[in-house]
Amino acid sequence: MTPPLVAVAHGSRDPRSAATVRALAGVVRAQAPGLEVHESFLDLSEPRVTDVLRGLHARGHRSAVVVPLLLGSAFHARVDLPALVAEVADDCPGFRIQVSDVLGADPALQAVALDRLADARHRKGTGVLLTAVGSSNPEANAVVAELAKRWESRLGLPVSEAFASATQPDVPTAAARLRARGVRHLVAASWFLAPGLLPDRIAALAREADPGAFLAGPLADDPRVADVVIARYAAAVAGLLRTAQFV
């Protein structure tokens, strides 16, 4: 029996976030006919990943693949999710759960984020804020900072990372850094999967820094995002096969 794909997002009090995750799961189903796909959440939204996994076990599934819909490998990927998976594994003897890599800074996702900037007016003096959630994990933040450097080279525009929480630079600091480099017009790129409270906070701060700032949308349910989800699933299934756990 092919293991179901359980896509797990962080969850949010903003209903737009869960709706976007459900829409993305629908695109994954359309692009992988015959694959059983379930959306789930770590917190704040329903259904919880633990409930989905226990339900699959109760229905007779012997294995499942969890794909974290996370753009960075930080606390949720390294601590929260493994703990929840271990909890289910303890409660469901013989049920094999393989967790894939996070979506991460995949080139396909970068292409989606850059395409979201296509409608921005790149006037003289334009600079880009590459906005992301931010983490207490320096390695996760360094990935976004490296993306900003690559984008600056690719776009030929000043680019600075800007974080919504947990670390610097925040949006006002990043905007000030760009201003010091001669930037007069801001474009805010979104390194977020879905709309929500943090992207809204970033949008408000960007508009405070520049009332005419262009605000790009999140990655959302673009088919290229679904392709990355499916690729992470396929790699995890291969891992199950290599360890003879595919049953």
Strand partners, 47: none
Mean pLDDT over each residue of the chain, to the nearest integer? 95
pLDDT-above-90 percentage for the chain? 88
Contact indicator for 216, 120 with CB cutoff of 8 Å: yes
- Cis ω for the linkage preceding 15 (within 30 of 0): no
Contact indicator for 205, 170 with CB cutoff of 8 Å: yes
pLDDT-above-70 percentage for the chain? 98
Host domain of residue 28? 5-104+221-242
- Residue 121 confidence class, pLDDT cut points 50, 70, 90: confident
Mean pLDDT to the nearest integer, 212-237: 97
Q: How far apart are CA 113 and CA 24, in angstroms?
A: 16
Contact indicator for 190, 131 with CB cutoff of 8 Å: yes
SS3 177: helix
Q: What pLDDT, on the 0 to 100 scale, is given for residue 244?
A: 59
CB atoms within 10 A of CB 8: 28
Decide if 109 is inside a domain: no
Is pLDDT of 1 > 80?
A: no
The single-letter code of the amino acid at 40 is S
- Burial of 235 (C-beta count, 10 Å sphere; 0-12/13-18/19+): middle
CB atoms within 10 A of CB 37: 22
Instruction: Give pTM, 2 decimals.
Output: 0.95
Asked whether residue 204 falls in the same domain as residue 231, the answer is no
Look at residues 115, 5, 149, 132 and name the one whose alpha carbon lies nearest to residue 72: 132
Decide if 112 is inside a domain: no
The two structure tokens encoding residue 32: 């992988």
Contact indicator for 160, 220 with CB cutoff of 8 Å: no
Asked whether residue 43 falls in the same domain as residue 100, the answer is yes
- Per-residue pLDDT tens for 3-18? 999 999 999 999 999 9
Is pLDDT of 245 > 70?
A: no
CATH, residue 133: 3.40.50.1400
- Per-residue pLDDT tens for 122-164? 789 999 999 999 998 899 999 999 999 999 999 999 999 999 9
The two structure tokens encoding residue 103: 């979506």
Q: What pLDDT, on the 0 to 100 scale, is given for residue 125?
A: 95
Q: What pLDDT, on the 0 to 100 scale, is given for residue 70?
A: 96
Decide if 170 is inside a domain: yes
- Per-residue pLDDT tens for 42-87? 999 999 999 999 999 999 999 999 999 999 988 888 899 999 999 9
Query: Which secondary-structure segment (H or E) carries 38?
Result: strand 37-41
Asked whether residue 126 falls in the same domain as residue 97, the answer is no
The single-letter DSSP state of residue 78 is: I
Asked whether residue 153 falls in the same domain as residue 86, the answer is no
Asked whether residue 73 falls in the same domain as residue 123, the answer is no
Asked whether residue 91 falls in the same domain as residue 165, the answer is no
Is pLDDT of 183 > 50?
A: yes
Q: How far apart are CA 51 and CA 66, in angstroms?
A: 13
Decide if 247 is inside a domain: no
Q: How many residues does the chain have?
A: 247
Strand segments, DSSP code E, in 112-246 are 126-132, 159-163, 185-190, 214-215
Is pLDDT of 203 > 90?
A: yes
CA dihedral 110, 115, 118, 124 (to 10 degrees): 10
